[in-house]
Chains A and B, each alone.
Chain A
Amino acid sequence: MLDFEVLQLFQGIATLVAQDPLHAIARVVLMLMGIAFVYLGYKGILEALIMIPMGLGMAAVNASVLFLAPDKTGTIFLDPLITDPAALVNIIQVNWLQPIYTMSFSNGLIACLVFIGIGVLCDIGYVLARPFSSMFIALWGELGSVAVFPLAIAFGMTPQEAAATAIVGGADGPMVLFTSLILSPHLFVPIGIVAYLYLSLCYGLYPYLIKVMIPKKMAALPMDLSKMPKITPLQKIMFAVIACTVLCLLFPVAGPLFSSFFVGIIIREAGVKPYIELLETTILYSSTFFLGLILGVLCEANTILDPRVLKILVLGSTALMISGVGGLFGGILMYYISGKKFNPVVGIAGVSCTPTTSKVAQKYVAKVNPRAMIMPFALGCNVSGVITTAILAGIYCALLK
């Protein structure tokens, strides 16, 4: 008769039984969280583009733990910590997401690809039409990225770790990945996970922040779109070329990000249709899909139980909250500077989660006053926010690398 054990057949369950209770509970919780993320993404409560692949990745990776050796458990998804070249070559042939992770994730390529796609989606004309208000609000929207830096050092982090964590306040996913890869690659996985979890929470939490900070009368203020100057494509291209060159000269370490973003803008304005279609659909969506999936797969119980994750969770949420408050405060200041002609809700778009925060701002304003249109102004702040976050990331990288 065969010596047969049911648990040997279902190794995902067998490893749950064999592991210590804390890991087993963490795995079950993460599986449930993954399922919840898929549902919330489907319902549109969280960002579907990231949350559906990420949720499925979380559920699948925590369910798929198996015995790699009699006394060793693991998965055949990917191993983020492997560095030895010979071991890497071996593992690339086993772990199905390892090639994508190694060739595009751990070197920052995926962040640059997403940034090219974002560049193609962004209309820099909104920034050029209202440069002062856009940049003023975007600078206030960086409050969390600046304020959390000393706070993180007080929490016992090194300046490099503190900067990589603080940049979560810029709410710009690719930028967070890039900065953590440059400054503290050992924290890249937890920071990336936390950043993308929170970016999706921008959808859910920021409307409440607006409600608390901006009185309804101010939020209902319509803005005059007729006074927006018309910017020609050549003017946008010229500005993009000059800004890219100057910023790359200033922060060579963030050069890949700047050039990715501005090349996207230039291709959009140059009207190179085949490239525009390729970048804004195939490249952007395939990068975002694999970004979500790999981040989900990285949410393994072992990673999440790392005690540093709790610190990053607290600091990341604080940074985003302070940035949101800063952006709205900038909006209120702009309301008074402009002689009460500027809708302060636009301030939330200073937090550069493009175009999520713009959508949040427009949705909120439309609820209060259905005739008020603030989207172009919000997009201007959003694009400025991307630029200011890139500048801040460049400053952190230049000073601390």
Chain B
Amino acid sequence: MFKQRRQWWWILGTCIALLGVALVRLLAPEYPPGTTRMVVKGVGYSLVIVGLFTIPLAMREDE
């Protein structure tokens, strides 16, 4: 499953998704309600989606 070049997609995807979680759950609440908080949350949610999309790239090399 974890061939050398593929494992990086798994690690990268997971890290990006967790970074997104950190932005939404840890960083965004530190800002007062307003545009900045919304933007940080938006970026966080987007990173989670990007992260979860990155993981399947490890499997696409099987094609």
Of A127, A227, A246, which is in contact with the most chain B CB atoms at under 10 Å from its CB? A246
Q: Is the interface of B mostly helix, strand, loop or mixed?
A: helix
Known: A232-B1, A238-B10, A243-B52. A128 touches B17 (CB 8 A): no
Complex contact B14–A242 (CB within 8 A):
yes
Complex contact A249–B25 (CB within 8 A):
yes
Question: Given B25, B53, B56, B59, which contacts A250 in the complex, CB threshold below 8 Å?
Answer: B25
Known: A230-B62, A234-B1, A235-B1. A246 touches B21 (CB 8 A): yes
Complex contact A250–B20 (CB within 8 A):
yes
Question: Given A132, A231, A246, which contacts B17 in the complex, CB threshold below 8 Å?
Answer: A246
Q: How many residues of B contact A (CB 8 A)?
A: 23
Complex contact A128–B59 (CB within 8 A):
yes
Complex contact B63–A227 (CB within 8 A):
yes
A129 within 8 A of B: yes
A204 within 8 A of B: no
When chains A and B are docked, how far (Å) is the Cα of A242 from the Cα of B13? Answer: 9
Known: A235-B1, A246-B48, A250-B21. A128 touches B56 (CB 8 A): yes
Q: Which of B18-42 contact A (CB under 8 A)?
A: 18, 20-21, 24-25
Chain B residues near A (Cβ < 8 Å)? 1, 10, 13-14, 17-18, 20-21, 24-25, 45, 48-49, 51-53, 55-56, 58-60, 62-63
The 7 listed contacts between A and B (C-beta, < 8 Å) are A127-B56, A131-B60, A132-B53, A230-B62, A234-B1, A235-B1, A247-B48
Chain A residues near B (Cβ < 8 Å)? 127-129, 131-132, 135, 227, 229-232, 234-235, 238-239, 242-243, 246-247, 249-250, 395
